[in-house]
Amino acid sequence: MKNKLKKGTRGSATNYITRGKALKKLQLTLTDFRRLCVLKGIYPRDPKKKAEGPLKTYYLAKDIQFLAREPLLDIFRQIRVQKRKIIRAKSRSEPGTLKQLRESMPKYTLDHIVRERYPTFHDALRDLDDPLCMIFLFSSLPALGHISADRVKNCVHLAREFQLYVQQSHSLRKVFASVKGMYYEAEVMGVTVIWLEPHKFAQKLPRDVDYKVMGTFLEFYECLMRFVNFKLFLTLGLSYPPPAAVFSKLRSGTAESGLVADLKQDAGGEMAKKRRSKRDRKSLSVSHESVSAAVQAVMAAAARKEGSQEQVDEEEELAGAQDGGDELDNEDDSKTLLFSGLSFFLGRETPMSVLDFVIRSFGGSVVCETDCRSVGSVRGKITHWVVDRPKLRGEKRVDLEYVQPQWIFDSVNAGILLPVSLYSPGAHLPPHLSPFTKEEEDGYRPAFSEFIERIKAGDTSVLAESAFMLGQAPHVKQGRLELPARREDGHDHEDDAMPAGEGAKDGAGSSRSSAEEEQEEDEKVLDARAAADAKSEEKELAKMMMPRKHQKLYETIMRGRKRRSAKMQTVVAKRRAIDDA
């Protein structure tokens, strides 16, 4: 007889290891273990059979093996020892030793972990949401307690650099002003990245947050973002890190051509050589096989820029790049360069950094009220004045469009320039919709979304109606935007009216004919209803023949749908109530 397998020698008993055992194996404290897990991206698992009870935390045994070979482990141990020595020196009050010990604290870098966790650049881009959110958050935090000023400064730099890349590559796709902050979606080398930037306020630091843990995450994210930014700048052919002057110039809106020059000053550097060697489009596409066609388009644009740089003056080049929007009849490009040729004057009450980033990303140019002495100095160039005041200061100028900041966000999301009349200063704004919600999934579509669709389709009558609406601005209910419904009603009336009109022409027999027609219509309705009934009954019958397994599955799916649709139903009901009121 075959020997019975000994218990605990195979399967999940050996594949998984509890946290306690892992600590013992790695000879680490829990804090260090957690730090290591954060840095290396190790997380607990949920084995089907929990050999040591359901209350323990299990890790994959191979993960722990993997951690055991980590060079950081040794450094962590050294740091622990060093800290112990520091305590001893302190208690012995030996300032010299203390200083020496503090200076010689073991140091480590995380480069190898970044490479390990993200073997390809594409992998890193796919996982960029959390790092970006974290870095944008920390760039707005005060340097208090566990958050050092260096950290915050570095985060500010990294955030600005990433924004600069997005701006320069015109890869911003969606903007959403939420209560939590600004959500952005960018398509970086074909990968969709979404991040949240908190509103510009002095952040409150809650007490029940472990900033050490966040610090560990940030440590890794900073390292990752540094390399990602470097690589992104490289693809654009720009030097990294960008000189600080670039940002100040960007802000002040002066000498845009100079910016590119500044960024490209690394001409003598090794990178530039590489870049030149990769100049032609083919080799570029080969070097980034995995990256989608969108990337190639960006790269091509970069290459085109470079080509022009050699031939023409830089300023001309920039002008060409801006005018490029007209040349590229590609729809996608027209969307990414939505604001090309427009220049915006941002009032000092507006969220300038946000608007600046968005407008530039879509090819517009920006002048901030805080950077120039008066509007007069930039008179003639401005096409839009972004205002966020209940009333205009001074006289309204005829040569400008006055808009609220939401116009910019909504236009970007719609992919067209929406009518500014809806967004004039002090006006009752139309709702700001999330560009991330897909109507077909949700099952409900807000009226304004349909409105935008109609504008997109080139329905000018909508505009007239909206103008009419604007006449009674703050009192207008948004329900009025529900135009399609009204229109359908109109159709019905027309349908009703038509036969009546014909009947009048016919004369005497008209009443009878119309009655007959009514009857016919009724019959048609009944027929349709009967057909629908028959169909539903057929379905009902077919359901009877489902195997039990499928029946349960079907019921589960339908229950989920019902739950979701019930949620939407409440929304629809609310809408109806608002419309009725």
Partner 1 sequence: MRGGMDDRPGAGGSRAAMPGRQGKKLARAVRSSVRGGALGSAPPAQQSAAPHADHDESASSSEDELYANKVGNIPMRWYETYDHIGYNAEGRKVMRAPRSDAQRLADLVDPESWRKVYDEKNDTYVMLTDAELNMIARLRENKVLGVNEEEVVAWSGPVMQTPAYPLPTEPKRRFQPSKHEAKEVVRLVRAIRNGWKSQKRDENDLVHGGAAKMYDLWVKEQTRALEEISKAERTRQLMHASAPKLAPPTHQESYNPPEEYLPTPEEAREWMDAHPHDRETNFLPTKYGAFRHVPLYENGVKERFERCLDLYLATRTVTQKLRIDPESLIPRIQKPSELRPFPTGLSGTCQLRIPGKLRAISLHCSGRWLLAASTQGAIAAIEIPSGRVANVWHFDKLQRDAERVDDGEEDQANASSPRELEPPSAFLDAGVLGKDAKQLVPELPVHSVRWCPRADALVFAAGYRKVLYVVDASRALGASESVASTSALLMEHSKQVTSMERQKNECVWAEVYEADASRENGTRSDVEKNSAQKSKHPRSKASPVAGKAGDAKAEQSEASEEEVVGNGVKDEPKVSRQVCALVIGHSHDVKSVDWHKRGDYVVCATRDTGGGSILMHRISRRQSQRPCPRAISSKAQIVLFHPSRPYLFVASQQHVRVFHLVEQKVVKKLSPGVKWISSLDVHPSGDHLLVGAYDARVCWMDLDLGDKPYRVLKSHKKAVRAVGFHPSLPLFADVSDDLTAHVFHGSVFDDLSKNALIVPVKILKGVHKERQSIGIVGLAWHPRFPWLITAGVDNAVHIMTDLV
Residue span binding partner 1 (CB under 8 A) among the ranges 132-140, 163-171, 330-338, 358-366: 132-140
Q: How far is CA 269 from CA 226, 277, 520, 551, in A?
A: 19, 13, 83, 67
The 508-537 contact track toward partner 1, x by CB under 8 A, reads -----------------------------x
Output 198 or 258, the one with its CB closest to partner 1: 198
Q: Which of 416, 414, 419 is nearest to 402 (CA)?
A: 419
Length reported for the chain: 581
Choosing from 21, 25, 79, 198, the residue that interacts with partner 1 (CB under 8 A) is 198
- Of residues 297 through 356, those in contact with partner 1 by CB under 8 A are 349-351
Q: CB of residue 118 vs partner 1: minimum separation in angstroms?
A: 8
Choosing from 17, 28, 72, 124, the residue that interacts with partner 1 (CB under 8 A) is 124
Does 222 participate in binding partner 1 (rule CB under 8 A)?
yes
Choosing from 7, 49, 92, 107, the residue that interacts with partner 1 (CB under 8 A) is 107
Q: Which residues pair with 186 in a beta bridge?
A: 172, 193
**DSSP state string for 465-491:** HHHHHHHTGGG--GGGG-HHHHHHHHH
Output 396 or 543, the one with its CB closest to partner 1: 543
Cβ contacts of 117 within 8 Å, gap of 6 or more: 40, 41, 123
Q: How far is CA 414 from CA 271, 363, 481, in A?
A: 38, 16, 17
53: tokens are 């009870």
Output 152 or 255, the one with its CB closest to partner 1: 152
Answer for the pair 317, 308: CB distance below 8 angstroms, yes or no.
yes
Cβ contacts of 216 within 8 Å, gap of 6 or more: 34, 35, 38, 39
- Of residues 28 through 67, those in contact with partner 1 by CB under 8 A are 34, 37-38, 42-46, 57-58, 60, 62-63, 65-66
Interatomic CA distance for residues 385 and 456, integer angstroms: 24
SS3 state at 394 = coil
Output 150 or 399, the one with its CB closest to partner 1: 150
Choosing from 227, 371, 419, 483, the residue that interacts with partner 1 (CB under 8 A) is 227
Q: CB of residue 483 vs partner 1: minimum separation in angstroms?
A: 15
315: tokens are 């300023």
Cβ contacts of 270 within 8 Å, gap of 6 or more: none
| Residue 281 exposed, middle or buried by CB count within 10 Å (0-12, 13-18, 19+) | middle
What is the 3-class SS of 342-368, one letter each residue? Answer: CEEEECCCCCHHHHHHHHHHCCCEEEE
Does 565 participate in binding partner 1 (rule CB under 8 A)?
no
Q: CB of residue 41 vs partner 1: minimum separation in angstroms?
A: 8
The one-character DSSP state at 426 is T
| Residue 135 exposed, middle or buried by CB count within 10 Å (0-12, 13-18, 19+) | buried
b/e sequence 125-134, b meaning 16+ C-beta within 10 Å: bebbeebbbb
Interatomic CA distance for residues 559 and 208, integer angstroms: 38
Q: CB of residue 268 vs partner 1: minimum separation in angstroms?
A: 16
Kindly provide the residue ranges of all beta strands, DSSP E only, lying in 263-357, ordered along the sequence. Answer: 343-346
Q: CB of residue 565 vs partner 1: minimum separation in angstroms?
A: 13
Answer for the pair 449, 429: CB distance below 8 angstroms, yes or no.
no
Q: Which residues pair with 183 in a beta bridge?
A: 176, 196
Does 86 participate in binding partner 1 (rule CB under 8 A)?
no
| Side chain identity at residue 98, one-letter code | L
Output 171 or 229, the one with its CB closest to partner 1: 229
Q: CB of residue 119 vs partner 1: minimum separation in angstroms?
A: 4
- Of residues 259 through 288, those in contact with partner 1 by CB under 8 A are 271
Does 453 participate in binding partner 1 (rule CB under 8 A)?
no
Q: CB of residue 208 vs partner 1: minimum separation in angstroms?
A: 7
- Of residues 141 through 160, those in contact with partner 1 by CB under 8 A are 141, 150-151, 153-154
Q: CB of residue 116 vs partner 1: minimum separation in angstroms?
A: 9
Q: CB of residue 426 vs partner 1: minimum separation in angstroms?
A: 8
Answer for the pair 34, 19: CB distance below 8 angstroms, yes or no.
no
Q: CB of residue 457 vs partner 1: minimum separation in angstroms?
A: 21
Answer for the pair 138, 147: CB distance below 8 angstroms, yes or no.
yes
Output 234 or 400, the one with its CB closest to partner 1: 234
Output 315 or 579, the one with its CB closest to partner 1: 579
Q: CB of residue 456 vs partner 1: minimum separation in angstroms?
A: 18
Choosing from 1, 55, 179, 566, the residue that interacts with partner 1 (CB under 8 A) is 179
Size of the site for partner 1 (CB under 8 A): 120
Answer for the pair 463, 469: CB distance below 8 angstroms, yes or no.
no
Q: Which of 129, 136, 132, 86 is nearest to 106 (CA)?
A: 86
Does 484 participate in binding partner 1 (rule CB under 8 A)?
no
Output 157 or 360, the one with its CB closest to partner 1: 157
Output 115 or 512, the one with its CB closest to partner 1: 115
- Of residues 423 through 442, those in contact with partner 1 by CB under 8 A are 428-429, 431-434, 436-437
Does 89 participate in binding partner 1 (rule CB under 8 A)?
no
The 459-478 contact track toward partner 1, x by CB under 8 A, reads -------------------x
Answer for the pair 47, 12: CB distance below 8 angstroms, yes or no.
yes
Output 214 or 418, the one with its CB closest to partner 1: 214
Interatomic CA distance for residues 156 and 158, integer angstroms: 6
Does 370 participate in binding partner 1 (rule CB under 8 A)?
no
Does 494 participate in binding partner 1 (rule CB under 8 A)?
no
Output 168 or 478, the one with its CB closest to partner 1: 478
Choosing from 31, 100, 330, 569, the residue that interacts with partner 1 (CB under 8 A) is 100
258: tokens are 């100079």
- Of residues 380 through 419, those in contact with partner 1 by CB under 8 A are 388-390, 404-406
Output 217 or 247, the one with its CB closest to partner 1: 217
